Structure 1
């Protein structure tokens, strides 16, 4: 596929028709009298309240009798045989949600993409779609440059599918993907051996534990995690492993302090709202020995942290595994920054869910 073919395929996706337009229109117009439920507790589902008649929220893990925004929660087993289900899952497993519903005998499934297409502007696009459309409109040519730079066909196909999904929330573009987050930083092309590993955004030590298990000949790990709570969990989890240096700091482009929301689990991040004050440093200051592998998933802080790694990247030429999914612009800015230091980096792209989250760009 040429650059122009890539651009044409992406632009064609924006106008792709809905899979179930008649049912979507019946829901929007109020013509349907069948019981209707929504799956997904997110902004897309919330936006439908008052716009579509909803009888409840489908959630197999909810406490019996619980509600969400005054909508009763029900399990799949409780769905009426003639139920319509609106699939608002977009982040992790929209394909699996659809498949589970079909396996349970639910034939009438409407995606959020179907409803948005049928609503003709009356329902807002999800935030990730709005973000992607704005970025694509301004930087389409640079996206094509990224496509051309990718090292293998799997990377090129991944970029094509992801951009089309992120522009539309159309689940048809994600049908070939699986949720495989444990594989996230361990692709064969990395050829991991005797690494000095930097885990930036170490959370509770889950990635470092997987790294130590998969790469037992590692030389050292530097784990950075600014939250005291998360760091205590990481130290307990990794107590049996050797040669791990725990840095209770976040990585940034300068030394200082920021407010950090540590209550969001693996999505803990720098915030402008309430949170704990944490210390930040740069990798160039914190680690003076050569490093060979840097992983980052910092909830949108990656480019700032990379700026504080410039010397280590320039001198050591480590392999990089950088999350790029938090904003559409992350794909471009991370790609541009890494290649500005080492233009000969080989670039790979892999995706680890069926939704918009968990995309990693590798530089080898």
Structure 2
């Protein structure tokens, strides 16, 4: 049974916040240099920022230092949020440093820090859609999927990073779990191909593929991907986004893997549907398109209904993706087994898999 637990109180976190704000004889640092780090520096006269991945020496008038160079008596708030917040805390503790994660500091410091909107919106969605999440929990095929959902929802509900224990950053496994059972002759759709690395991983696991359809609207990304994949045959590149039908939409470019369709985008791009662009039968569709998965799934209805492909769909860009995406897919075909996996110890990189069930009768839900 899915359980959302009451928030726990951590006296040690409260004590850290009191010391960080008022004990000025100990050095105080922030790990990271993002907008959350900036919000801390607005309220606390810190000694500097920790960043092991830059040659810069100053930020906001404060020194940038390496983790190994700060005094052992230092206090550190980690502003690492989305991918490896737990890893960051474990690394700080491994150095013997007194530290806290941003989620706890936000909760207990009493400062008007920059919030993580995804957490607030997630909590509201969980409170308003408990039955949807219970339905999803019951749909999941294995205990690991149920455990992933339980941990993710409790982290989203409470901001308690302890729920992310057991997760690791594992990009090499993302989209390619054993239950996919890739076979010779696969026709793969890489929707949101970025730099081509996901397609590289696919080819490693399925060298005898038939064809690959690669969709990426960002010009810099797709140029890099073409070069990255130049030694492979039968890859068809589409410099376009994916949606319900052919259209021109605004797009935020230059964001690397986070480039996305947005009304405030700096350029216009062409978009179209998978159904319009691909004529042959497809066997595996991967989608990571920064919140446009819903539109792209609408534009894949014919292929999903007729071809019954395996699906690996990112479901973390919008707070309600976890239940809306399976609702949409099962409304097209209900003969899928659903698995859930998570590939960081932060908010990003949750993937839902839909594996065709071959022994169930199916009636098309297409109008």
TM tier, shorter chain?
over 0.9
Q: Aligned residue for 2:237?
A: 246
Equivalent residues of 1:252, 1:282 under 8 A apart: yes
> Residues 103-156 of structure 1, C-alpha deviation per residue, up to 9 Å, x if partnerless?
2221x1122233233235744542221121121121122111111111001101
Equivalent residues of 2:275, 2:300 under 8 A apart: yes
SS of 2:209's equivalent?
coil
Counterparts of 1:330-349 in structure 2, within 5 Å, are: 330-349=321-340
Equivalent residues of 2:191, 2:216 under 8 A apart: yes
Equivalent residues of 2:36, 2:113 under 8 A apart: no
Separation of aligned partners in 1, 2:127 and 2:212: 41
SS of 1:181's equivalent?
coil
Instruction: Verify: 1:270 aligned to 2:261, yes or no.
Output: yes
Separation of aligned partners in 1, 2:149 and 2:62: 37
SS of 1:116's equivalent?
helix
Pairwise CA RMSD of aligned residues?
1.7
Tell me the TM-score normalised to structure 2 length: 0.92
Instruction: Verify: 1:127 aligned to 2:117, yes or no.
Output: yes
Question: In the TM superposition, what is the alpha-carbon distance from 1:184 to its structure 2 partner?
Answer: 0.4
Instruction: Verify: 1:165 aligned to 2:158, yes or no.
Output: no
Counterparts of 1:43-122 in structure 2, within 5 Å, are: 43-67=35-59, 69-106=60-97, 108-119=98-109, 122=112
Q: How many residues align?
A: 354
Question: In the TM superposition, what is the alpha-carbon distance from 1:32 to its structure 2 partner?
Answer: 4.7
Separation of aligned partners in 1, 2:124 and 2:339: 24
Q: Aligned residue for 1:26?
A: 19
Q: Are the structure 2 counterparts of residues 54 and 254 from structure 1 closer, same or farther at C-alpha, using a change threshold of 3 Å?
A: same
Q: Are the structure 2 counterparts of residues 60 and 203 from structure 1 closer, same or farther at C-alpha, using a change threshold of 3 Å?
A: same
Q: Aligned residue for 2:32?
A: 40
SS of 2:213's equivalent?
strand
Question: In the TM superposition, what is the alpha-carbon distance from 1:335 to its structure 2 partner?
Answer: 1.3
Q: Aligned residue for 2:363?
A: none
Separation of aligned partners in 2, 1:176 and 1:339: 30
Counterparts of 1:148-297 in structure 2, within 5 Å, are: 148-193=138-183, 194-297=185-288
> Residues 245-265 of structure 1, C-alpha deviation per residue, up to 9 Å, x if partnerless?
111221101101112222011
Separation of aligned partners in 2, 1:124 and 1:164: 21
Equivalent residues of 1:35, 1:83 under 8 A apart: yes
Which residue among 5, 8, 12 is the counterpart of 1:11? 5
Equivalent residues of 1:90, 1:169 under 8 A apart: no
Separation of aligned partners in 2, 1:53 and 1:237: 45
Equivalent residues of 1:322, 1:362 under 8 A apart: yes
Separation of aligned partners in 1, 2:165 and 2:257: 25
> Residues 26-83 of structure 1, C-alpha deviation per residue, up to 9 Å, x if partnerless?
324x24531111113333322222333322111011224231x333211112211110
Question: In the TM superposition, what is the alpha-carbon distance from 1:305 to its structure 2 partner?
Answer: 0.8
Equivalent residues of 2:43, 2:111 under 8 A apart: no
SS of 2:255's equivalent?
helix
Instruction: Verify: 1:137 aligned to 2:127, yes or no.
Output: yes
> Residues 153-174 of structure 1, C-alpha deviation per residue, up to 9 Å, x if partnerless?
1101111111122223322111
> Residues 266-285 of structure 1, C-alpha deviation per residue, up to 9 Å, x if partnerless?
11111222422211111111
Separation of aligned partners in 1, 2:190 and 2:234: 13
Separation of aligned partners in 1, 2:134 and 2:43: 38
Equivalent residues of 2:52, 2:65 under 8 A apart: yes
